[in-house]
Amino acid sequence: MGKKAKDYMLEIPDVTVTTQTSLIDVMTIMVENNARTIIVTDTNREIKGIITSSDILRELSKEIQSSILRGGAAEHVMTKRLRVPDVSENTLMLDVAEEMAHNDVFSIVVMKQFQPVGIITSLEVFKWWLEEHSNPSDSGQEK
């Protein structure tokens, strides 16, 4: 039986931000919770996107300071949920990888009973693939 999303997902802290949360607050929440990814919701707690440390770093290179000074908010930086389906904890990792590749995304939200419980990033997919395809007798070194 194949490995499932719950076997590899990064559990997310019970922390979300809204689309109007300031970028300073988003960065503070990420640091305080040691989180590289935060889920962004609207006021009804419907998921609108995710904001990753990469999203913020990309904006930093575009002089985010001026955005912060103008009251920049999460919605200006987040990766919007336009076409990415959610996966459940029981979704096979192969299916997770296919969804990510098909939708050209680097992370996907894992849901349980309509609530986000984790995130799978490309790194977790790499870990899964390496475990599935590694040869225990092969040390990876040439002899």
Residue 93: the pLDDT is: 92
Beta pairing class for 16-18 and 37-41: parallel
Residue 34 makes CB contacts below 8 A (sequence gap 6+) with: none
CA atoms within 13 A on the CB side of 114: 3
> pLDDT tens digits for 27-67?
888 888 878 888 888 888 788 888 888 887 777 656 555 65
Q: Please say if the pLDDT value at position 92 is more than 90.
A: yes
Round to whole Å and give the CA distance between 119 and 109: 5
Query: Sorting pLDDT into bands at 50, 70 and 90, what band is 83?
Result: low
Chain-wide mean pLDDT for the chain?
78
Neighbours of 45 (CB within 10 A): 13
Query: Sorting pLDDT into bands at 50, 70 and 90, what band is 91?
Result: very high
